Structures are given as C-alpha cells and as structure tokens.
C-alpha cells in the first residue's frame, strides 16, 4: 500500500498547486524517483500523461469558478496559468465545447475531468529478478548533455515520444560516432555495465543525461567525454521485453519496484541518479534483457 499512498500524496500535491507553478521535481520526490521516471510511471499507471492530467484538472477547476458568475474570464485564465486570453479560450473550448464566457451562464453543460485517486493495490504475480551490488566510483566515457527541467510530451503514444529530445540524443549516439568509437575502436562494451545510460538530476531539478561505457585504467579517449558513475549501493533489476513496445520495459519494471519491491525490501531509494544498462542481443525481441540500477540504502 506504500506505493498507493505515495501516489495519492502526489495527486494531493497536484490539487494543491493547480493555480501555481508546479515543482515537478518535488512532485516526483514524493514517489522517490526523478521527474522523467515519474512522468513515465504516471502515464503507464494512470493512462494519461502527467502534463495532460494537470492541464485537464486546471480547466475543470476553471469551469467551476466561472460557473459562480462572480469572476472575470481574464482573472480565471491567469489564475490557471494562461497568460493569453486567446490561449485560454482555445484550450477551454477544446475541452468543454463552449467558450469561457459562455461557461459563466448557469445550466450550460460542462465536462469535469475528475481528480485521480488510487485505491486498488497493485499485486505482483511474476517474480522480480534483482541483486544488490556495492560499487565504488566507476569512470566512464561517452557523451553528456544537460536537458534542463524535464517536460513530458503530453501527446506521446510511444516512449520515444515522451521526451523526443532525449531520444534524439540517444539515437544520434547509437547511429553516429560515439557508439562506433566505443564499440569498435576501444572495445569498451562489457559486463556489468555494457552500454550505460545515467540520468543525474541536479538540486535545481535539471536532468543531465550520460551515455557511454566503463573506461579502462590508463587509457586515453580524446574523442569522448569522461564522466563518473558515483559510488553507491545499487539494487539492480532485470527488465525483459522489446524496446519496440509502447511502454519501455524499464518503466514497467520501475513501477513494480515502487509498488511491490520497495515496500517490503527494507531499502529506500537514494534520489538524484539512476542507470539503465543495455547488453548484447536483439532489442526488438520479447526476450531482450536490459537492467535498471537504482541507488539504495538500508532503512
């Protein structure tokens, strides 16, 4: 029930901040993950992207305020984050089928997008494969980019469209120089990290993506950028499934980690960094295996 309680707390946070600039890093922290992970988990569990859920809740509350007949349309628009009356009118009409001005009239039909509430316990019926690993600092080489504060694409129908800029960064890495240099020139892909992606979330809520492989002592890599995987105790989870499916196998596994493993494990997740590792094999097959590495500490 711990996961459900945290998700309900996240829903409470959203409701309390509908008329404010929402701190999505703080929101994600309620569920012990970073913004990118939370956006993926929310869309997977709820069936609606996080940004779209927030938008619909704001427009639902705006409609309720307009129905009182004691407010101005421009004041309601500003209150719910629309600096342009035209933008508010377009968004409002797209959801409710009438303009904000028309919504001020008693008796007109409006649509309510209800607040989400989590009541059903998520229960695992498939074993989870995991191991606990102690690692010191691991020097790596590859490519690094700061993507700023994460904004999830509300219209995403596939995991590659949730943050297309991050996927494009990965795609460019895979198809062009860095991957080929790491694989063919230096032959760095090997256990346990193989090809590793590391997300680091700064104190300011910015996400820095690192992609590469573990370096070898004493070697120089002038074409590549150096970065370190920090020393941590890691809970390592096996993720199975094709990367061609709508939801990434890592997202499915992360949801199960939070809902099933974490409440009974005796560990808590250390926020700020996470790893995904991709070993050899055909990523388009249902039995492809990648791994999710989460930093943890004993309670």
Taking only the tens place, the pLDDT of each residue in 8-17 is: 899 999 999 9
Q: Cα–Cα distance between 97 and 87 in angstroms, integer?
A: 15
| Residue 119: pLDDT band with limits 50, 70, 90 | low
Q: Which residue has the higher pLDDT, 160 or 185?
A: 185
All domains of the chain, ordered by start, with CATH?
A: 1-121 (1.10.10.60), 130-298 (3.20.80.10)
Dihedrals phi, psi of 283, to nearest 5 degrees: -70, -10
Q: What's the confidence (pLDDT) of residue 209? A: 94
- Cβ count within 10 A of residue 182: 26
Exposure string for 205-215, b = 16+ CB within 10 A, e = fewer: bebbbbbbbbb
What's this model's pTM, rounded to 2 decimal places? Answer: 0.67
Q: How confident is the model at residue 29 (pLDDT cuts 50, 70, 90)?
A: confident
Residue 86 contacts by C-beta under 8 Å, 6 or more apart in sequence?
A: none
């Amino acid at each position: 029930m711990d996961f459900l309680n945290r998700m309900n707390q996240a829903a409470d946070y959203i409701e309390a901040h509908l008329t404010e600039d929402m701190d999505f890093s703080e929101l994600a922290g309620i569920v012990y993950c970073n913004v990118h992970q939370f956006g993926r988990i929310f869309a997977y569990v709820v069936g609606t992207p996080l940004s779209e859920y927030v938008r619909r809740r704001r427009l639902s509350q705006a409609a309720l305020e307009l129905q009182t007949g004691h407010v101005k349309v421009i004041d309601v628009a500003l209150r719910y984050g629309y600096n342009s009356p035209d933008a508010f009118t377009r968004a409002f009409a797209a959801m409710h089928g009438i303009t904000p001005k028309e919504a001020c009239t008693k008796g007109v039909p409006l649509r309510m997008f209800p607040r989400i509430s989590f009541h059903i316990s998520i229960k695992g019926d498939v074993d989870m494969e995991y191991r606990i690993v102690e690692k010191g600092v691991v020097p790596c080489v590859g490519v690094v980019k700061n993507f700023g504060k994460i904004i999830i694409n509300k219209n995403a129908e596939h995991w590659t469209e949730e943050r297309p800029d991050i996927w494009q960064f990965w795609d460019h890495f895979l198809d062009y120089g860095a991957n080929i240099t790491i694989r063919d020139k230096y032959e760095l892909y090997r256990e346990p990290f193989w090809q590793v992606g590391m997300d680091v979330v700064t104190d300011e809520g910015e996400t820095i993506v690192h992609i590469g492989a573990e370096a070898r002592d004493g070697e120089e890599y002038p074409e590549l950028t150096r970065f370190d995987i920090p020393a941590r105790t890691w809970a390592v989870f096996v993720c199975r499934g094709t990367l061609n499916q709508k939801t990434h196998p890592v997202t499915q596994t992360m949801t199960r980690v939070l809902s099933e493993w974490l409440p009974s494990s005796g560990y808590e997740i250390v926020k700020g960094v996470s790893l995904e590792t991709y070993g050899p094999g055909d990523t388009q097959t249902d039995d492809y295996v990648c791994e999710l590495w989460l930093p943890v500490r004993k309670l």
